[in-house]
Chain A
Amino acid sequence: MSALLEIERLQVDFGRTSAVRGVSLTVAPGETHCLVGESGCGKSVTSLAVMNLLARGARRRADRLAFQGQDLLGLPERGMARLRGNAMAMIFQEPMTSLNPAYTIGSQMTEVLRRHKAVSQRAATERAADLLARVGITAPGMRLGQFPHQLSGGLRQRVMIAMALMCEPRLLIADEPTTALDVTVQAQILRLLAGLQRDLGLGLLLITHDLGIVARVATRVSVMYAGEVVESATTADLFANPRHPYTQGLLRCVPVPGKVRRDEPLGAIRGTVPRIGPGFEGCAFRDRCDFADASCARAVPRHAAGATHEYLCRLAPGPAKTAA
């Protein structure tokens, strides 16, 4: 099956800082690809770069950026606008502020469909009500006439999801869709996304910093650190056999019931994420890494640990070393 979204060596700079440095990843139809990493590692910027929604002043370049085989890099804004909300849709982290306070839910939802497809207002309203019901909102007819401020955060995020699905997109990018929500609502939204993804067969690029979410929904995981994908593997492989010291560190930070003993301290990664300026070379994790040596300051090789497992480290593949 050919890839839905292909990113090769994506680079995004803000002034003199590089937010994304050579990120490559693909999303296949029907796949959930999770992009994991701490805040500020460039996950959100990557997703905004794909949609070409970066703030003014950001510079984007890549070897290849294609959606369904169509090149996005040379696509003018008009062409990009025809794709956005239509074949590729996006959900944001901030459900409280992402809806326009001045318009009703119904008008904001039907607007997308009417923009991209030739449908009557009536048909669009019906589809909106249909989708609201599908994302688990009761009394969708009433909700359509309401304004965002009359809805709770969880409801608003459901509306955002329903709105993203209006045009039956092939690719859905969800940028931390559950971060701003209560834990109980988080679980509902995730179940919802996973179910929709299964039913509609869409490709999902899910951005999160929560490894628990990754373990539950992802088919494939890419771990980002300081603007680079440092490790990429299928979910099972990554959790069972993490290769990059950063991934290992991340996994140790998550308590696993039954595995972690009560008196045992949780892991932590020492130090903080460095600021990457121009001319930075070598491994960005070396100052925080237990295995670092002088060679880490030079260019780092990309190793393969199996057909679908890649990582960016000088440590050779072989039996995984785990820190004490």
Chain B
Amino acid sequence: MLRFLVRRLIVALLVAATVMVLAFIMTRLSGDLAISIAGPNATQADVEAVRKAYGLDRPLVTQFFDWAGRAAMGDLGESYFFKSRVSALIGERMPVTLTLGISGLLIALLVSLPLGILAAVRENTSFDRVVQLVALLGQAMPSFWLGLLLMILFGLKLGWLPISGTDSWEGFVMPAVVLAFSAIPALTRLTRAGMIQAMGSDYIRTARAKGLSRASIILKHALRNAAIPVVAIAAVQLGFMLGGSIVIEQIFALHGVGFLAWESIAKNDFPVVQSVVLVLAVIYIGLTTLADLMNAVLDPRLRGA
């Protein structure tokens, strides 16, 4: 178990380091950053001054290790546009994105677990077919379009929910639902498939032969085994949701990390952009590592590995 943990952590660190390199390279692809920072009206002397001020005259490798070394200590540098610490900026915006992502995941789980379980237990009935159809339709639904449709319906026509902003919890409802919608098809399909497999297994026959109640058979014996892949995917989905929340935040004008990234991309504010990429990647890595550990708790066979 300990060896498994250590191995997992080493891989996680290596992945994080690789993402750092990639994020750094990405921001340098555009050529001379000093020119874009200095702005369109800058003279040659201004550009030189900017280059010197931001340390862009040093070799790329030096620049990278300088950034990476500070980033490892939690210092992500300074934003060119907002003129404040990047870590502070991200820290300020993160609660909105996390609220959105976690409530999105909760909604997705609350919808897809019961749907997947019921569809599996009633395999091949019309209920099952409807669930599969909904999953299929959900998969094809572009989330930004769904967001706009909900805005028209609930914001304008019915007037139940605010169209944008985070003044109250109601502002989170539509964005969280839209975000959840992107994860529901995959989670439902996986729950259904896992439950069908578990329900057909020999140990479920044993459980029935033991005269256990239907609830105990489904929820205790089948779900425990079907949940193992679902936990892994749920963690991955939360990572995708945090990354994908940039779209939702932009539509509903929620000032989260995604919105920050969006603003920074428009302003060529590359320290912020590369830091957001790095932070989201690290969160994703952390989540998948956590999912592995949770699976080891759920599946005793993994503990020996």
Does A touch B (CB under 8 Å) in the complex?
Answer: yes
Contact B208 A102 (CB under 8 A): no
A interface, over-half SS: mixed
Residue on B with the closest CB to A173?
Answer: B209
Distance, CA A266 to CA B287, complexed state (A): 64
Q: Are A163 and B299 in contact, CB atoms less than 8 angstroms apart?
A: no
Contact with B along A91-109 (1 / 0, CB 8 A): 0101001111111000000
Q: Is A53 an interface residue (CB 8 A)?
A: yes
The answer to the question of B201 belonging to the interface, with a C-beta cut-off of 8 Å to chain A, is: yes
Contact B301 A85 (CB under 8 A): no
Tell me the total A-B contact number using a CB cutoff of 8 A: 74
B211 contact from A99, A101, A115, Cβ within 8 A: A115
Q: How far is the CA of A86 from the CA of B212 in the complex (A)?
A: 10
Q: Are A115 and B299 in contact (CB under 8 A)?
A: no
Contact across chains for A86 and B221 when beta carbons are under 8 A apart: no
Interface string of B155-166 (1 = CB under 8 A from A): 000000000000
Complex contacts, B203 vs chain A, CB 8 Å: 97-101
The verdict on A181 contacting chain B, using a C-beta distance below 8 Å, is no
Contacts of A111 in B (CB 8 A): 210, 212, 216
Q: In the complex, how many residues of chain B place their beta carbon closer than 8 angstroms to a beta carbon of chain A?
A: 21
Instruction: Specify which chain B residues have a CB less than 8 angstroms from the CB of A81 in the assembled complex.
Output: 208, 211-213
Query: What class of interface size applies to chain A in its complex with B?
Result: 20 to 34
Instruction: Check if B62 is an interface residue, CB within 8 A of chain A.
Output: no
- Which B residues are in CB contact (< 8 Å) with A53? 205, 208-209
* CB-based contact B224/A102 at 8 Å: yes
Does the CB pair A83–B211 fall under 8 Å? yes
Question: Given contacts A97-B201, A115-B213, is CB(A92)–CB(B300) below 8 Å?
Answer: no
Interface status of A33 (Cβ within 8 A of chain B): no
Q: A149 interface residue, CB < 8 Å from B?
A: yes
Interface contacts beyond A85-B210, A98-B206, A147-B300: sample of 12 additional A-B pairs, CB < 8 Å, sorted by A: A53-B205, A53-B208, A53-B209, A84-B208, A84-B209, A86-B211, A92-B206, A99-B203, A101-B225, A101-B301, A115-B210, A149-B300
| A interface residues, Cβ below 8 angstroms from B | 51, 53, 77, 80-86, 89-90, 92, 94, 97-103, 111-112, 115-116, 147, 149, 160, 163
